[in-house]
Amino acid sequence: MNNIQGKVVIITGASSGIGEATAYKLAEQGAKLVLGARRENKLKTIADNIKSKGGEAVYRITDVVKAEDNIALVELAKAAFGKLDAIFLNAGLMPNAPLSALETHNWNAMVDVNIKGVLNGIAAVLPTFTAQKSGHIISTSSVAGLKVYPGAAVYCGTKWAVKAIMEALRMESAQAGTNIRTATIYPAAVQSELVAGITDKATSGAYRQLYDAYEIPAERVANVVAFALSQPEDTNVSEFTLGPLTQPW
């Protein structure tokens, strides 16, 4: 049985990389997609591609830092498809640099998107999931949410925060009997636009070299999202770490 067929799933950060790959993967398995990101042209192209193959998808320009944008995605899901089953909190930034570079604007941006964006998404869906006593919240952390790397202090901090928030959410949902499932994904070098956002020249060059040597397609993470969503309703698989076979992380 395909447990994904007919599920309504919100994806943030849906315009490229892991979000885009996951949209296509879930659409192939019969999910109805609600796509959110800041670039409307990318969202429209992805939604059109899904619909051209007989799938169902809608989209909305979304800045996850704005609480109201997250709420609007939930409202769009209900208006378009009559329900909501899952959300994949995937929006993220990685403008890494040594702390001594004092890129404080990038520190704030990472905290806003990587932490507050996740919290805003959780806040947007929890009332619905709690009321219906079902739902699935999946988030993208990083291997940087499991280990700390020089030159990535703030990014690591934000991704460790995601780990903590999601684990507490799982425990609280179990205690409350709300049947809300959770999954946190920790990817290593996976194809995305993250490296393109690094403005520190030395850091950018090092990461580009790393990713060019090791990165695997974003679809590999999409496979994990599909696996989590396809589990029986009584089963929660809460954490996934994945990366290139040849990358020593």
Residue 60 pairs in a beta bridge with 36
Amino acid at 84: L
d(CA 113, CA 158): 9
d(CA 165, CA 139): 10
104 Cβ contact list (under 8 Å, min separation 6): none
Phi, psi of 162 (to 5 degrees): -60, -45
155 has catalytic annotation: yes
Q: Does an H or E element contain 183, and which?
A: strand 180-187
Task: Please pick, among 24, 59, 155, 207, the residue that the annotation labels catalytic.
Answer: 155
Catalytically active residues are 155
